[in-house]
Structure 1
Amino acid sequence: GGVCIAQSLKIPREPRPGEFDKIIRRLLETPNARAIIMFANEDDIRRVLDAAKRSNQTGHFLWVGSDSWGSKISPVIQQERVAEGAITILPKRATVEAFDRYFRSRSLSNNRRNVWFAEFWEENFGCKLGMHGKRPGSLKKCTGLEKVGRDSSYEQEGKVQFVMDAVYAMAHALHRMHRDYCFGYPGLCPRMSNINGKELLGYIRSVNFNGSASTPVVFNQNGDAPGRYDIFQYQITNKSTAEYKVIGQWANKLHLNVDAMRWRTGNPTLPASVCSVPCQMGERKKIVKGVPCCWHCERCEGYHFQVSEFSCELCPYEQRPDRNRTGCIPIPIIKLEWHSAWAAVPVFVAVLGILATSFVVVTFVRYNDTPIVRACGREMSYVLLTGIFLCYAITFLMIATPCLAVCSFRRVFLGLGMCFSYAALLTKTNRIHRIFEQGKKSVAAPRFISPASQLVITFSLISVQLLGVFVWFAGDPPHTVVDYGEQRTSDPEKARGVLKCDISDLSLICSLGYSILLMVTCTVYAIKTRGVPETFNEAKPIGFTMYTTCIIWLAFIPIFFGTAQSAERMYIQTTTLTISLSLSASVSLGMLYMPKVYVIILHPEQNVPKRKRSFKAIVTAATMSGKLVQTGSDRPNGEVKTELCESMETNSEYFTHVDRI
């Protein structure tokens, strides 16, 4: 438990050049898995260490060797730094003194049955046995009197104990089988002459005796003997001396002296070896197929948060992941603030407009009975000024914090100011157009040109707007909404919910659509009455007003709808709408009323009664003006002027005092 294999590589039986360098490169594909367990012979172990040294990986790998490495010096010669910290094992062994006595007593004369003993003798004593010796070269001749352990170094091989116990295990198994199968029959009985390996294996696994080192020899159900091992670590001391030190043992369980372990020139810190480091908060594990301890860490992107170690889920629409992406938090809600530059500019313009409108209204009220105020139509002027005031005032409702009351007032007054303004202007231009069209046919005045009739027509047009608003109220009651999609950016940290009234772009266009229709119709009438003499009416100022207003709203449409996908949509659209309304009101106020206020305040001498003309005189003048335009290109200027003057004198008998046009 707790051990996982990140990679399993095989060392070829006959490795080609560069094979061990390739193995090191493969091991580095999982750089965090540093512990390398090697089951290899000492030559291959040495070549693996040498390849790691060539790859400049000294100190990176943590080597764990089997008993084939053990405490041998040959694999680590001249590679001490690479092998530093290596953990190796050796079967726990004891010296069999009886074997030492026996082996030291062996000589060429008493051990002729071992065909390899002569070769061992030459190798051990460095001599040559006559002409037929196995060792080449001019070595001294063996005398045969050499003695093992006296004339050469001797140390009992570590596996002698296990070889002896293995032989005794086979002997005990055969003895028990003979006892069971032969029942005291001397020698090999017929029953044992044809036994199979499985039967013999069963007897071998069932043996139980004390071995040569007085340790019990038994086998488990898998045929394994109890493991008893000494655990070594290859350490380099402060004196740069490398040696194997016993750091623990295994006998049914692990006994390890962690304090005695050393890593990288005396560092006692236990190094880590994992295939994959733990994922950080907000990351999920993607397991590598077939390797349960190896994974890739994938961050929960976008609006996803970490649900478990292996999965991410999407936050609810009105929420976003927290900073660690381990849960969801509500998305902050914003609105257009009064201190924002997007609000400050429209409010400043609206305040100036309201002050200017109030000044005009006060001036008109104070000079209500003067000729200029009476001549421009007092009743219609006050209606138009009311519409201009509402166009400025709607700015404050558009910026105010959305609530039920604010949303209700927005619906009512959003298009009402424009409706007041353009209904009054349309009534005026229509009246002028009808007067001069009627004058071409008859001297009788057309119907519905009195002030009362004009007010009825104007408020009838306004009532259509109010009726539409009431239908809107009934079909879709006003309420506030939080729009989380408007500023739902790719970065959840920047996501915001926008608190606003439930007025869609389509509803906005429908609310303003009727006023725009009035504006377009008024513009058409302004074009039709452009030829009327400016001394008789306000047709030309109204025409200039409508042309400029149309340009303003033509510019408004692409700006308003072109920013529908912008993250700043709320700010841009609100500012654009309020500025457009204020500019429309400013154009009407500036072109229609500021010249009159200028005369009333600064040139009162011009604000005096003049001779009024009858309807017939007005029509005659308009007709002659038309003739002037038509014949101006055919006759000398003097003739035209003379004809016009004569006509005016001829019709002077029709001049009477009338209140106004």
Structure 2
Amino acid sequence: MHQDFCGGWSSPGLCSEMDPYNGNLLREYLLKVNFTGLSGEEFHFLPNGDGPPRYRILNFKQIHPGKYEWITVGMFENRTLMMDMEKLQFHMNHTLYPDSLCSLPCQFNEAQMFSGKGVLCCWNCVPCGTYQYLPTRHECVDCPLGTLPSDDLLSCVPIPEEYLTYDSTIAIVAMTVASLGFVAAVYTIYIFVKFFDTPVVKASGKELSFVLLIGILLCYGMTFVIIAKPTNITCGAQKFGVGLCFSICYSALLTKTNRIARIFRAGKRTIKRPKFISPQSQLLICFGLVATQLLIGVVWLLLSPPAAGPYYPTRESNQLVCLSAVGLSYMIGFAYPIVLIVVCTVYAVLTRKIPEAFNESKHIGFTMYTTCIIWLAFVPIYFSTASNIEIRLATMCLSISLSATVSLICLFTPKLYIILLHPERNVRQSMVSSKLHYSLKQSTPNSSSLRVDSGTQSDGEIELHQRLKSCGSLSSGFSRSTSATQTCSNGTSISTQTLDSIGRGFDDFDVQL
């Protein structure tokens, strides 16, 4: 270039034609340069401006045991590969060439992580996690809750919703128990209505008995509400109903036990009839107790509106549940019934020594003891099944049904037994006789344990009561005697009709045999 424009070595330095010089023109002259280097090898530029490729191919191989060296096994020069195959030695195979690349292609579940910025031919293959997918070939991304990666890992697919259905085995068991109990409760109501005016029904405190039976029916019905597919409506019914049905049952039982306890406690202190033992008073007390639960339920619904939604106890689960069933929210509805159960159990213990003639307190006591056992078993199960709402709800259904069944069997079976199988015992004379036998047995000639309220009894009835007090005891006992008269131990004779008349005073207490 200098020769062409400046005359060569005869004119050293840049001439005006080369100042300033043209870079593109200089490049054209450089690409035409060729010469023999100090190594004796020819050098020239390639059309793209690179020097001629010339490589010595080395193989790191074992010369003898314990010694390794790099051995020249070939050359690449003038676009020609020359290899001495006899000198090649590979670790695993002596006949196959290793792959000539930086990185192998990644598997379908692996992301390509490049070795460095701008390096596109070398990468590391990083396996994606169990719950990750590949939106691109270079990034693993977590699938949202309620979804799992597709088989090709290109997207996430929703997990089918799970909830307690009517055709599941555990739901069928719970509904079967509830259905049988519901039928038994309806049949009991039918019998009580049919024999409404008989002594057994009257003496059982029929008003509270019907309240208790309604509560038992609601307990059985709650099973079908709990198993229903979660919606805002069914969730609201669950929140409001689980505590209400129990409150109705145990409010009635608490009212009964409180009444019995007050009657016998008052008998030791005063001759006056205790207050608030009439059927109307008992219903008001019972409804007042239930109203507390109603208030709790309404406030709970207002502060925490019912809602159904997804619940993910594990990464592979998608359960449709009432959100109140998650955690310990339902214990708000159970708190007040548990208090009623505890108080009712305390009253059952206090009235456990009431004589056999007034043994409904014993039936209530057995009911409460069994109920406590059921709830002591239910509470740990409820807390330990937080990861499986289906099991938790099914357990709740069975516990509610078992509690209702215990009340139905313990409190109403003895009455149905007399009404249906021994109607001869469902008469006033039989019940009055047992009550008077207890009273006379406990009386002494000077005692006042057999009392009447002078404000409600006639002078003749008061006189008959005084005669019984002076009688001391009946020499023939008072067991189902059908004779026209009864003889006292002092020889005094009292007609059975008279005793029946006196016995009407006991019926005011409606105490079950």
Asked if 1:382 corresponds to 2:210, the answer is yes
Deviation at 1:621, TM superposition (A): 5.5
> For the residues of structure 2 that align with 1:276 and 1:221, how far apart are their CA atoms?
30
TM-fit CA distance, 1:504:
4.2
Code of the residue aligned with 1:277 in structure 2: it is L
Assess, with a 3 A threshold, how the Cα gap between structure 1 residues 327 and 470 changes in structure 2: closer, same or farther.
Answer: same
For the residues of structure 2 that align with 1:335 and 1:532, how far apart are their CA atoms? 49
Distance in 2 between residues matched to 1:446 and 1:316, nearest whole Å = 67
Distance in structure 2 (CA, Å) of the matches to 1:272 and 1:223: 29
Provide the rounded CA distance (Å) in 1 between the counterparts of 2:276 and 2:30.
Answer: 129
1:480: how far off? 1.4
CA shift, 1:526, in A, is 0.3
How far apart, in 2, do the equivalents of 1:336 and 1:419 lie? 26
1:509 maps to 2:509: no
Decide whether aligned partners of structure 1 residues 500 and 207 sit closer, same or farther in structure 2, where only a CA change above 3 A counts: closer
Q: 2:133 aligns with which of 302, 305, 308?
A: 305
| Structure 1 partner of 2:111 | 284
User: 1:429 aligned to 257, 260, 263, which one?
Assistant: 257
Contact 1:357 1:388 in 2 (8 A): yes
Q: Check the 8 A contact 2:262/2:274 in 1, yes or no.
A: yes
- Confirm or deny that 1:570 pairs with 2:361: no
Structure 1 residues 279-315: Cα deviation after superposition (integer angstroms, max 9, x where no partner): 2333212345798644432222133222333222222
CA drift at 1:474: 1.6
8 Å Cα contact 1:443-1:615 kept in structure 2:
no
Match of 2:160 among 321, 332, 337: 332
* Counterpart contact for 2:134–2:153, Cα < 8 Å: yes
Mapped to 2, the partners of 1:614 and 1:445 lie a distance apart of: 21
Which residue of 393, 408, 415 corresponds with 1:589?
408
Aligned residues: 402
The 5 A counterparts of 1:57-456 are 180-181=8-9, 219=45, 273-288=100-115, 293-456=121-284
Distance change (3 Å), C-alpha of 1:474 and 1:616:
farther
**Contact 1:560–1:576 (CA under 8 A) maintained in structure 2:** yes
The TM-score with structure 1 as length reference comes to: 0.54
SS of the aligned residue for 2:157 comes to strand
* Residue number among 432, 435, 444 corresponding to 1:612 in the alignment: 432
Q: Tell me the residue number matched to 1:151.
A: none
For the residues of structure 2 that align with 1:613 and 1:589, how far apart are their CA atoms? 27
**With CA pairs under 8 Å and 6+ residues apart, which has the higher RCO, 1 or 2?**
2
**Aligned-pair CA distance for 1:468:** 0.8
* Aligned-CA RMSD value: 4.0
Q: CA contact under 8 A between 2:143 and 2:149: conserved in structure 1?
A: yes
Matching residue within 585, 600, 613 for 2:419: 600
C-alpha contact (below 8 Å) 1:439/1:619 kept by paired residues = no
Aligned-residue identity in percent? 41
For the structure 1 residues 250 and 554, does the alpha-carbon distance in structure 2 shift closer, same or farther, using more than 3 Å as the test? same
Q: 1:558 aligns with which of 368, 375, 380?
A: 380
Inter-CA distance 388–441: structure 2 relative to 1 (3 Å threshold)? same
- Structure 2 residue corresponding to 1:657, chosen from 504, 508, 511: 504
Q: Displacement of 1:571 after TM fit?
A: 1.8
Question: Which residue of the partner structure matches residue 532 of structure 1?
Answer: 354
**How has the CA–CA distance of structure 1 residues 514 and 326 changed in structure 2, closer, same or farther, with 3 Å as cutoff?**
same
Structure 1 letter corresponding to 2:370: T
Deviations 1:89-111 (A, max 9, x none): xxxxxxxxxxxxxxxxxxxxxxx
Superposed CA deviations along residues 236-291 of structure 1, whole A, max 9, x for unmatched, are xxxxxxxxxxxxx988x99xxxxxxxxxxxxxxx9964443322333212345798
Provide structure 2 residue ranges, at least 5 long, that are not aligned to the other structure.
Answer: 12-28, 36-41, 55-76, 82-96, 448-470, 479-487
Residue of structure 2 equivalent to 1:467: 295
Rate the CA distance shift 1:456–1:217 in 2: closer, same or farther, 3 A.
Answer: closer
Q: Is the 8 A contact 1:305 1:321 kept in 2?
A: yes
Kindly name which structure, 1 or 2, has the bigger radius of gyration based on alpha carbons. 1
Does structure 1 retain, via aligned residues, the 8 Å contact 2:103–2:122?
A: yes
The aligned counterpart of 1:244 is none
Q: What's the offset of the Cα at 1:207?
A: 5.3
1:346 CA drift (Å): 0.4
Distance apart, 1:608 and its partner CA: 1.6
Report if aligned partners of 1:403, 1:501 keep a CA contact under 8 Å in 2: no
Distance 2:103 2:180 in 1: 68
Structure 1 counterpart SS, 2:428: coil
C-alpha distance 288-429 of structure 1, shift in aligned 2 (>3 A) = same
* In 1, Cα distance between equivalents of 2:51 and 2:257: 116
Could you tell me which residue of structure 2 aligns to residue 22 of structure 1? none
Q: 2:370 aligns with which of 538, 544, 548?
A: 548
Mapped to 2, the partners of 1:222 and 1:410 lie a distance apart of 81
Mapped pair 1:499 → 2:321: yes
For 1:204 and 1:469, how far apart are their aligned partners in 2? 95
Cα deviation for residue 217 of structure 1 reads: 9.5
Change (3 A) 1:225 1:299: closer
Structure 1 residue 620, shift from structure 2 partner: 6.8
Give 1:348 deviation, angstroms: 0.5
1:51-77 Cα shifts (integer Å, max 9, x gaps): xxxxxxxxxxxxxxxxxxxxxxxxxxx
- Per-residue deviation, residues 370-400 of structure 1 (Å, max 9, x unmatched): 1111111111110011111111110000000
Shift of 1:345: 0.7
In the TM superposition, residue 537 of structure 1 has moved relative to its aligned partner by 4.1
Query: 1:650 deviation in Å?
Result: 8.8
Structure-2 separation of matches of 1:278 and 1:590: 73
